Copies of this chain bind each other. A is one copy, B any other.
């Protein structure tokens, strides 16, 4: 059966688009989840939507499951191959098909990297709204399938909010060409929303039509030392009121994170004194001078109100980069924790400070002397936490149970931006009720009645 199936695929897609399992390159056997490699039945690399459609139709006819793969940078395992399933890589569909500066739209194939989209937008004098560390490898299709977030969410939202149109292929091969470039289009269910964040379980994204944003004209970067979490929340509120739409980043770092960042990167303390919290803020505005003046005034008011204890305003791009260097210690996590046990959770914004205190205390009670670092995009309700696995005796699962249990009690989400994939399946119930999961399964069964799309993921 398998030989006949592969022959039919080679016939439909061209022989160079079908790689049998034993010849599949290593890099397609795993993603960044850290899960052990799995060899798929075959790797398909179609060049067009029509070829994706033909591949899915054949898989459907032969009852062979399909795992869509993008840049393989996902941390939750949604793109991990499955034994007996084909892996469907979109990497050859990597064109930026069009950029329209007048109407600020861009059409990309699913295999284009986020960086390629960003560069095409920049070349047109515009800006793409989403940015995150894996930009050079992560692809449009995967970023949509996981509704990726990252650094620009405060200003422009996640991948979902960039989307004007989508082309997707259903598991049986039917193509949904939902690429009309209108923001307002209320004609029945907005089907494109269904594929965003579905982690490839409902179909395959083949093309996306994005809205673009104006390029920033001026930027200011601020490092602010804060007395406590409520002050952080109040400062964010004041800045968002004063610089409406202009707050591009508000990254909060707890003292444990700052200490680790200094040590790992051999940096100097940014302030004379150790402060419990440091906020790193990017602001966009009309002109450097006006922005700087307005920010200085806002800062003086915030200091008067006791919200900011000390602050530094970047006087150059180099200084702004130095401020950001503190936050970018996350790239050093793998080299400095054995291994890092990473969390990506979201919580009601008002509760994040209390959650951090309780979570740290609970970890400390269970593993005295453990090492953990807390940081996050709090304006998006998103908190990250990394624990040094060596300092909890390798009890990763116990730590996960502890943290996700607390997230559940705070009515938070076990996945802010990384998705569920394989890794977080056991904890989905902390964020979703049984009836919500039933409704999801009903939709899955409706669009994928044979259960062939990315089996075992999410549910």
Contacts and interface: CB of A to CB of B under 8 A. Distances in A.
B102 A420 contact: no
A182 B431 CA distance: 11
Interface in A327-355: 346-350
Given A186-B418, A240-B214, A244-B284, A191 B440 contact: yes
Contacts of A188: 197, 420, 428, 432, 436-437, 440, 458-459
Contacts of A101: 237
Interface in A393-450: 411-420, 424, 428, 431-433, 435-440, 442-443, 445-447
A189 to B, nearest CB: 5
B432 A182 contact: no
A245 interface: yes
Contacts of A438: 174
How many copies of the chain does the oligomer comprise?
2
Contacts of A414: 187
A36 B122 CA distance: 54
Contacts of A440: 188-189, 191
A377 B153 CA distance: 26
A198 interface: yes
Given A187-B420, A382-B184, A215 B194 contact: no
Interface residues of A, number: 93
B161 A161 contact: yes
Interface string A161-194: 1000000001000111110111111111111011
A103 to B, nearest CB: 4
Nearest to A148: B186
Nearest to A429: B187
Contacts of A182: 346-349, 380-382, 412-413, 416
A185 B435 contact: no
A100 interface: yes
A216 interface: yes
A64 to B, nearest CB: 22
A147 interface: yes
Interface of A: 100-104, 146-147, 149, 153, 157-158, 160-161, 170, 174-178, 180-191, 193-194, 196-198, 202, 213-217, 233-234, 237, 240-246, 284, 286, 290, 294, 346-350, 377, 380-382, 411-420, 424, 428, 431-433, 435-440, 442-443, 445-447, 458-459
17 contacts: A101-B237, A153-B183, A174-B439, A176-B436, A178-B436, A180-B411, A182-B349, A182-B380, A182-B381, A183-B381, A185-B415, A186-B413, A186-B417, A187-B415, A187-B431, A217-B241, A217-B242
